[in-house]
């Protein structure tokens, strides 16, 4: 997967944070993105 393809995939995720949260990541939506393989791993 090229860097451009990876970027286009990543920008489809809603990763809005929750300012009132005391956890990191602050929302379940952010956990989905965090679970994806990083550059060079898939």
DSSP states of 5-42: HHHHHHTTS-----TT--SSSSSHHHHHHHTS--TT--
pLDDT at 36: 77
pTM of the model: 0.57
pLDDT at 40: 67
- Give 10-residue mean pLDDT values along the chain (42 residues): 89 91 92 78 60
pLDDT at 4: 94
Alpha carbons 29 and 15: distance in angstroms, whole number:
6
pLDDT at 1: 83
Handedness of CA 12, 18, 35, 1 (dihedral sign): positive
User: Distance between the two ends of the chain, CA-based, in angstroms?
Assistant: 8
pLDDT at 41: 64
The tokens describing 18, both together, are 């929750």
């Amino acid at each position: 997967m090229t860097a451009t393809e990876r970027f286009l995939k990543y920008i489809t995720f809603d990763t809005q944070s929750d300012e009132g949260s005391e956890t990191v990541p602050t929302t379940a939506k952010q956990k989905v993105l965090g679970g994806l393989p990083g550059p060079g791993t898939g």
